[in-house]
Structure 1
């Protein structure tokens, strides 16, 4: 088994980008608390990683609930002794026409995408302060926080807000040697997107690099930003979209 060097929490990681981030963290010798709202998905994902000799514990639950967030941070410390890396990846996309978008949909998007990220960062930063050895926090934004996309006004708004949150937290966290950054993925091939008819072909055509991203493309960028090699990078957003935001054709 690999030697544990650090401990990470990754939310929304039962499949897709979050799962691949967890897998690559464990390959690097980092112990992971893997969260997903779907308990079965979380368990399956953690088992898969464990079978690959990674150190990974499933911690299912609602990553937008403040009480649950506090329990998750506590669990990381109890299970592995510290908390060094947090990747707030959990988020939901609720498409809807602006003229008829409901308050219920709006509040749910903001609760998961914004409140969940904000309070996970808060809980993690407080733990990292106690440890007095720095840390790394990473938010998952989106290209829709940079460019308009039809029927995603609320979602795009939430993702742009995450990037401003990272910038603002530079003031709060830098004195404690805690970095905070965001990644902004573009079209990515995941279990969810591949279930959409024509997704891969459409985004291969619209992306200047000629293909949608793989989950590994996104995970490798995430790992860099939480690594020691990025210790002097903070308050930044890294767009990973094969050039789409430079041209921005709509599907």
Structure 2
């Protein structure tokens, strides 16, 4: 896959899956606008990519804010000349019992996971339409958009909704040569899971492939879907979970 001449926006990319996607896009020639809510994290991530020789611009801010999203799109075009790839990776998980779940937590989850992804897709698609060169948009779903998981009613709802958004927008974006898909990661080792010593043992035991995903596993799938060679794939959701959704045992603690 060759991403020379491609410009990408990747949100929530300071660490974890988002960073791996941004890094791999830059390694393969793309110019990347890297977003994260934390300015220090965004700058450090962009610097790491730049040190490898990649073209990367840090752009910290709230990826659920529509005016900020427009600024991201405008800045990417001003800095790199076009916009051809968007990865709406920014998201938040707030666990909670459904019967006790609070409106404030619900709003945070919906604002970032749905509002942010929806309007990033909209504003990026407008830019791609104006350029008349097509483009690729990738939404970040989850296996819990396919299978029930305790404590994640609100989060799971948003992830299932993103997959429906990808399917629905085939009708509206295909005439402009824009494809849109979703990736649904399963359990993945990231900086956030390192503090849990039970995470890898539990998910290794209940995942048919014998281990949780790495961020590179997810990034590989993401790059496949946004590559110019994959433009005829659209409206699809690619599950990357080592087979977990085929059997779906719950992640209960070790005996």
TM-score bracket for the superposition, by shorter chain length: over 0.9
Matching of residue 19 in structure 1 with residue 19 in structure 2: yes
- Whether the 8 Å CA contact 2:32–2:56 is kept in 1: the answer is yes
Tell me the SS of whatever aligns to 1:212.
Answer: coil
Does structure 1 residue 181 correspond to structure 2 residue 155?
Answer: no
Q: What is the SS of the residue equivalent to 2:163? A: helix
- Helix, strand or coil at the partner of 2:234: coil
1:3 Cα offset (Å): 8.8
Question: Over the residues paired in the alignment, what is the CA RMSD in angstroms?
Answer: 1.0
- Residue deviations 1:149-201 (CA, integer Å, cap 9, x gap): 00000000000000000001000000000000000000000000122231111
Distance 2:74 2:26 in 1: 20
What's the counterpart of residue 195 of structure 2? 195
> Which 4+ stretches in 1 moved above 3 angstroms?
none
CA deviation string 1:59-79 (max 9, x = no partner): 000000000000000000000
- Give the distance between the partners of 1:56 and 1:247, measured in 2 at CA: 40
Aligned to 2:116: 116
Query: 2: distance between equivalents of 1:133 and 1:24?
Result: 23
Q: Find the aligned partners of 1:228 and 1:63 in 2 and give their Cα distance.
A: 25
1:9 alignment partner, SS class = strand
- Please report the TM-score for the alignment, with normalisation by the length of structure 2: 0.97
**CA–CA separation in structure 2 for the residues paired with 1:8 and 1:225:** 13
Name the CA distance, whole Å, in 1 between partners of 2:197 and 2:105.
24
Distance apart, 1:229 and its partner CA: 2.0
- Contact 2:3–2:227, Cα closer than 8 Å, also in 1: no
Secondary structure at the aligned position of 2:193 is classed as helix
Secondary structure of the residue that 1:41 maps to in structure 2? helix
Q: How far off its partner does 1:116 sit?
A: 0.1
Q: Give the corresponding residue for 1:28.
A: 28
Distance in 2 (CA, whole Å) between partners of 1:58 and 1:203 is 33
Displacement after TM superposition at 1:220 (Å): 0.5
Superimposed CA distance per residue, residues 6-40 of structure 1 (whole angstroms, 9 cap, x where no aligned partner)? 10000000000000000100111000000000111
Partner Cα distance (1:235, 1:194) in 2: 33
How far apart, CA to CA, are the structure 1 residues paired with 2:99 and 2:3?
Answer: 54
Q: SS of the residue aligned with 2:210?
A: coil
Equivalent in the alignment of 2:139: 139
Partners of 2:140 and 2:184 within 8 A in 1: yes
SS, match of residue 76 in structure 1: helix
**Equivalent pairs, count:** 250
The equivalent residue for 1:152 is 152
CA distance in 2: counterparts of 1:9 and 1:196, whole angstroms: 31
In structure 2, how many angstroms separate the alpha carbons of the residues matched to 1:232 and 1:103? 40
